[in-house]
Amino acid sequence: MGNVIKIEGGHKLKGSVHISGAKNATVALIPAAILANDSVVDIYGVPNISDVESLSILLKELGVDVTSPSSDHFQINTTNMKNKVLDHEAATKLRASYYFMGALLGKYKYVKMQMPGGCYLGPRPIDLHLKGFEALGANIEYHHGYYEISAEELTGAKIYLDVASVGATLNIMLAAVYAKGRTLIENAAKEPEIIDVATFLNKMGANIKGAGTSVITIDGVENLTGTPHEIIPDRIEAGTFIIMAAAMAEEVRVDNIIPQHLEALLSKLVEMGVDLELGSDYVIVRSGRELIATDIQTQPYPGFATDLQQPLTTLLTQATGQSMVRETIYTERFKHCAELQRMGANIIVGQGQALINGATPLYGAKVTATDLRCGASLVVAGLIADGVTTIHDSYHIDRGYDNLDTKLIELGAKIWREDVE
């Protein structure tokens, strides 16, 4: 049994949509919360996504009490927390479970857990995380699918990341907050989610400077205590809705955004001829203009986000001319192109790049979400396409989008779910 998402295309979108808290911040903030000693941590703006359910399961495995006083409010109580081996299937399903490595190593100087999972986007090694832990003084063993990481003491160190990886930057930050002395992370990732996690840790009593720049300085402290925190809005969810609106809006207002986080996308859409009106925390997209082809190249933040490459590729099929998409982060991230071709798109995929010839009409078809953002690109395609599109493996979409179908229905889309054998 599985769940499919069905979309009847061709319906104009109208109204407003509220963007949820950032998935990529949430999946690090929840493990970061366990660094608080014997206290209650309130996190607000938690998105309703399956990755959060997996994290809750892992918290309960560690004896952490998790309650949800309201739908987007998480209360985490670390009073009865114990360091246990993390071998629940939730760890293997969820890539971001690796943030428990940094947090548990930081707090207890010992962690044992199974290899983390997640969407397959080509090689996404965690060797940078492990190198960082070793630099802080940890010893790493890998046996039978388990990582065992231990240290007598963690001591501040200078760590240079070969790649500005978000995961490694955050994980080393979590391990270093309790380390003795000063840790420098050089060539650190600059994503907004890193600033959000650093802000949260600092409110709890950590001493982190430079988050959002390429050098982060962490001076170790002895104690962190719980504090309330509101998660920043999800720039990828916001971008996805803005792209959907650019494709099908009569007039759509996307609320609860930080425009600065979306600059790379918004400037590309303006280049394509999309009618945008930007406010302090919202954007209004109106229909009526023809779309023009453009080229994009994914880059680490503040460049064009790899997570928006797949949804934007769908929009480019509706733009007149030839567009080129170059992927520099996950070079294998083109599985959505084969699915879009089934719907009538004219896309030629090369090594780490795709050529899109537009504009082409799209037709409803049976397609498969091979990963989270591929799923998003197929939803965009389904909204545009003539007829009904059936998206299989829709669980990928639920990993990262909070109530996507409900939000789209409120905008006037025809979208529903069915169980299939």
Feature table: binding site for UDP-N-acetyl-alpha-D-glucosamine: 95, 124-128, 307, 329
The C-alpha atoms of residue 414 and residue 408 are separated, in whole angstroms, by 8
The C-alpha atoms of residue 180 and residue 157 are separated, in whole angstroms, by 9
Pairing of the two strands 353-358 and 321-326: antiparallel
Residue closest to 25 by CA, chosen among 229, 227, 196: 196
- For tokens 């699915």, name the residue: 339
Known binding-site residues equal 23-24, 95, 124-128, 307, 329
Give yes or no: 119 in active site: yes
In which region does residue 347 sit, left (phi positive, over 0), alpha (psi from -120 to 50) or beta (all else)? beta
Residue closest to 147 by CA, chosen among 90, 87, 94: 87
In what helix (H) or strand (E) does residue 326 lie, and over which residues does it extend? strand 321-326
Known binding-site residues for phosphoenolpyruvate equal 23-24
Task: Decide: 48 and 74 in contact? Cβ < 8 Å.
Answer: no
Q: What is the CA radius of gyration of the chain?
A: 21
- Bridge partners for 348 per DSSP: 355
- Bridge partners for 296 per DSSP: 325
Q: Which amino acid is at 84?
A: K
- Bridge partners for 201 per DSSP: none
Task: Decide: 416 and 351 in contact? Cβ < 8 Å.
Answer: no
In which region does residue 109 sit, left (phi positive, over 0), alpha (psi from -120 to 50) or beta (all else)? left
The C-alpha atoms of residue 217 and residue 214 are separated, in whole angstroms, by 10
Cβ neighbours around 125 below 10 Å, total: 10
Q: Which amino acid is at 41?
A: V
The C-alpha atoms of residue 73 and residue 67 are separated, in whole angstroms, by 8
The C-alpha atoms of residue 98 and residue 109 are separated, in whole angstroms, by 15
Active-site pick, 33, 119, 218, 262: 119
The C-alpha atoms of residue 136 and residue 157 are separated, in whole angstroms, by 6
3-state secondary structure at position 158: strand
Tell me the catalytic residues: 119
